[in-house]
Amino acid sequence: MSSQVPTFSDNPPDFSRQIAWLKVFFCLILSVLLLRLWYLQIVSGEEYRLKSEKNHTSLTDITTPRGLILDRSGLVLVDNQLNYDLYVTPGEVSKPEELAREVSYLTGRDAQELSKKLETLAKKQKYNSQLWISGLTRADLVGLKTRHYQLEGVTVQINSVRQPTQENFAPHLVGYLGEISPRQLGEEPYLGLKQGALVGQSGLEQSMETILHGRKGQRLTTVDSQGRVLEELKVDYPEPGYNIRLTLNSRLQRVAQSLLGEKAGAVVVMDPRNFEILALASSPTFNLHDFVGGISGERWKSLNDDPFRPMENRAVGGQYPPGSTFKIAMALSALSEGVITPETAFSCAGALHLGGSRFGCWARGGHGTVNLHRSLKESCDVYYYEVGRRLGVDRLARAVRKNFGLGQTLGIDLKTERPGLVPDQAWKQRRFGKAWNFGETLPVSIGQGYLLTTPLQVAQYTAVAANGGTLYRPHLVKEITDFEGHLVRRVEPEVLNHMDLRTDYFQSVRRSLDAVVNEPGGTGRRGQIPGVRVSGKTGTSQVISLDRYQVYSRGGVLPWKYREHAWFTSYAPTDNPEVVVTVLLEHAGGGGANAAPIAAKMMKAYFDTSVDTNVLPPYQVQPDKPAGWQGEL
């Protein structure tokens, strides 16, 4: 039938119209495709180019060990412990079940859990080596290494973990590492770090972050769609962090922590000749080992909720009224301001009446006629009321700020350092919106009232008295060395101020401080140690007003939190001081009775190198409660 169709028709079918429509339709479709290509390649081409660029290059960090923290003598305090971890490349494992069983047999871990973990890893990145088991023991390692030929895709890698070398050593000072917080991510020393990076979150680990951390390296590689590394494009090798050598004497530090024992308080041991910190103890304390490898939420909560604030470094961050120890600063300021001379004497009748108010001396009966020597030795309050009245609060504040660095942070290498408070008229106006009441100057001049200092600041003015008027910057870091031990920077003592005061005036103050400990009638007699002459000053700072004491003295036992803080600050030897010891005990009662014996033991440990912690009681770790605690707050 087909052959009948005429092949040479005179009237061939005319398809022109249909063809024209089809061509229009075809052109339409092609132009849609062309427009789409235009949009993808030219309009948004740059964006897609970046996307594909990011697709096939991968920037990985090369970690570097953190710098070590050494003590004064070069003893390692915080080390990098090597952790053996088992890594697996799931794509190279042909029989995951068998591998999991084998590894479970070798390491004693649960086979089911291991194979489940392996599955999740395989879903994440099939061809990259990923952490499977963390913290292998030596026995695990032996097993794994001997059977290594049977284990496909499994490697042992060594990672470093921060590890304090000594149990419970100066946790506040050393500090711990923690995951970088979202707020820190954008801030200066942490720029360039990624989510999940471990950075110092307290103590020296935090404040010396840039020095300890070093510079991490980076490796730019091309990867394929499976995440396999194909070639290395660029490597930026890391620089290990610098080691820091502290001024800290670890023996003294241990002694200080032991002496605090179960009391809440702080001990500062400092060299007055250059303000190097030899020991800086705060109690109660926490266990640094809890933070290795991340602290549990429960423990963190218990540390933070503890009413005794074990996380607080009381030595530099605790602010207390300095009590009578402030009389050292007052005497030196008054002498330098020319308000008194050593011979100036006032009469103490047990109280000073001023403007209708009564300002009492601790000795109800009064001291009679008191000169500078007796005022320090017996700690007469009325004498200093008079001195304060003569000085005026503004002059007083200016003098103590300038000469002793009170009311400000001097930049000891810890972020927890707090400035304390030296009140003046402007401060009161700013803080309360009220004018300074003249009567408020008098408590300040005996170290009460609005005045607040940290134990470190008390040690500062003691040291200024001891060294003849020079205020240095207190520091904890002695040297910074690179990882091979070459010196990078040595921290030189930095003079902040030299007090303008006659040497004989200094001598008279120091004679008086010597008398506090060594003369009969001195308040700090318990600060004596055999063989070395110690000078010092006691302090008992009240937490509540005297009226409240009256209430409790009638009613019975004073609650713990209302008891006085006990202070004792001292230096030795008297003639050529080489060490300052400041002891604060929170709510412990009288300074002469409670703080002075501890300072004496500290002094003894300084001069007698055979004293070590072996013979001293272990020190206090949260959550035990401090002494004197009877369950009420």
Partner 1 sequence: MKKINLDHRFRENFNWPLLFTALGLIASGLINLYSTSGANQAEEFSSTPFAKQMIFSLVGLTGLLSFFFFDYRKLKSLAWPLFGLSLFLLIAVKFYGITAGGATRWLPFGPFRFQPSELTKLSVVLLLSFFLSRRHYPRGLDFKDLVRPLVILTLPFVLILKQPDMGTALHLILTVCPLFFFIKFRPRVLITVISLIAAGVVWITCLGGQQFLLKHNFIKPYHLARYRYYMSPEESPTGQGWQIIQAKSAIGSGQIFGQGFQEGSQQRYGFLPAPETDFAFAALAEEWGFVGASFILLLFFGLIWSALNVVRASGENFGAYLALGLTSLIFWQMTINLAMVVGLFPVVGIPLPFISYGGSSLIINLMAITVIANIGLNRYFFQEESIRQNPRIWQEGVTEPKQGLNPVRRLAPPNPEEPEPYPEHRLPHRKPWLKYLRNPDKALGYQYKTNL
Binding site residues, partner 1, CB under 8 A: 1-3, 5, 7-10, 12-16, 18-19, 22-23, 26, 29-30, 32-34, 36-38, 40-42, 44-49, 51-53, 55-56, 222-226, 230
| Between 225 and 610, CB nearer to partner 1 | 225
Q: How near is the Cβ of 57 to partner 1 at its closest, in Å?
A: 9
Q: How near is the Cβ of 26 to partner 1 at its closest, in Å?
A: 6
Tell me the two tokens of residue 371: 């000169």
CA distance 606 to 571: 11
- CB neighbourhood size of 106 (10 A): 21
Q: How near is the Cβ of 28 to partner 1 at its closest, in Å?
A: 11
Q: How near is the Cβ of 11 to partner 1 at its closest, in Å?
A: 9
CA distance 120 to 99: 15
CA distance 567 to 23: 101
Helix (H) or strand (E) holding 333: helix 326-337
Tell me the two tokens of residue 225: 């769609």
| Between 42 and 435, CB nearer to partner 1 | 42
| Between 56 and 548, CB nearer to partner 1 | 56
Q: How many residues does the chain have?
A: 633
CB burial readout 11-50, b (16+ within 10 A) else e: eeeeeeeeeeeeeeeeeeeeeeeeeeeeeeeeeeeeeeee
CA distance 62 to 292: 21
Distant-in-sequence, close-in-space partners of 102: CB < 8 Å, separation ≥ 6: 147, 150, 151
| Between 9 and 553, CB nearer to partner 1 | 9
Is residue 582 exposed (0-12), middle (13-18) or buried (19+ Cβ within 10 Å)?
Answer: buried
| Between 40 and 426, CB nearer to partner 1 | 40
Q: How near is the Cβ of 29 to partner 1 at its closest, in Å?
A: 6
Q: How near is the Cβ of 117 to partner 1 at its closest, in Å?
A: 20
CA distance 99 to 82: 25
Q: How near is the Cβ of 65 to partner 1 at its closest, in Å?
A: 33
| Between 57 and 146, CB nearer to partner 1 | 57
Per the listing, tokens 């996380």 go with: 311
Going by C-alpha positions, the residue among 125, 118, 124, 112 that lies closest to residue 93 is 118
| Between 50 and 82, CB nearer to partner 1 | 50
Please give the full DSSP string across 6-18, using - where no structure is assigned: -SS-SS----HHH
Question: Which segments within 137-228 are labelled E, that is strand?
Answer: 154-164, 177-179, 198-200, 217-223
| Between 3 and 630, CB nearer to partner 1 | 3
Q: How near is the Cβ of 3 to partner 1 at its closest, in Å?
A: 8
